[in-house]
Every structure is written in C-alpha cells, then in structure tokens.
Structure 1
C-alpha cells in the first residue's frame, strides 16, 4: 500500500489513519442486502477527512494522496 502524503490542510504527516467510514446500505430488488464497506483517511491533528471511497482501504490512500492540479499516472 502506498504511503500517505502529509495532510493538505495542516501539513502534518503524523496521526493520519485510514478509518472505516461505516459503509453504505446495499439493496437488491428493493430489499436490504448488507452493506458495501467505505473508507476515508483522517488527520488526527486538524480533523480533516479525505473523501469516502468504496471497497478497499487502498482506494482511500489514493484519494487522499491525489492533489488538485496533479495528473494521475
């Protein structure tokens, strides 16, 4: 898994964690059918949270590390 970049808001790189964001409910034919896991990165220093992403912790890291103006490679 890629290393987390420092927080884009406060610049700290300590106290960053990947957290379970609770998931979203899944429905099949209008009936509840469990949930889909969601994750986000949380900065324990300033309280910033990265975007909530589906399925994998690695997706939260990618979303957190993506900075405005940078191109995906």
Structure 2
C-alpha cells in the first residue's frame, strides 16, 4: 500500500509513504506531515490543513480491485 499526501492548493505530492523505515511502526499521520513541513506546502507555500473525510480517497490501479498491496491512499492536506 502506498499513501500519498498532496497539497490541496497545487495538487503536488508533498510526501509519499510505501513501507516503514527502520524504527517506524506506522505511516505518518497528516498532523505529522504538516509539522514536518512547518505547516506550509514546500512548492506553493499554501498553509496545510488536516484532511476532511471527503479529502481521503482510495484508488486501485487500472480500476481493478487487486490485493491490498496495489492500493493507493491519497490524503489531500
């Protein structure tokens, strides 16, 4: 599973998570990503906010419903 965190303003991916790094147990929360970038998009400078429920989408490659590993979760900040 891949989790993409995107800026709501410029629609660019500001952080991608595919698997845990050493010492990491789970993907970062939106609040952690926002804190990492000091609350601003590194591309357009827009203030980042926690996503609303409608800002979180789950996409499957080629409109199929493959196994869990093919899933992409997009969170718009």
Fold shared, TM-score > 0.5 on shorter chain: no
Between Structure 1 and Structure 2, which shows a larger proportion of strand residues? 1
Quick check: which has more Rg, 1 or 2?
1
TM-score of the two chains, using structure 2 as the length reference: 0.31
Between Structure 1 and Structure 2, which shows a larger proportion of helix residues? 2
The structure whose RCO (Cα within 8 Å, separation 6+) is larger is: 2
TM-score of the two chains, using structure 1 as the length reference: 0.32
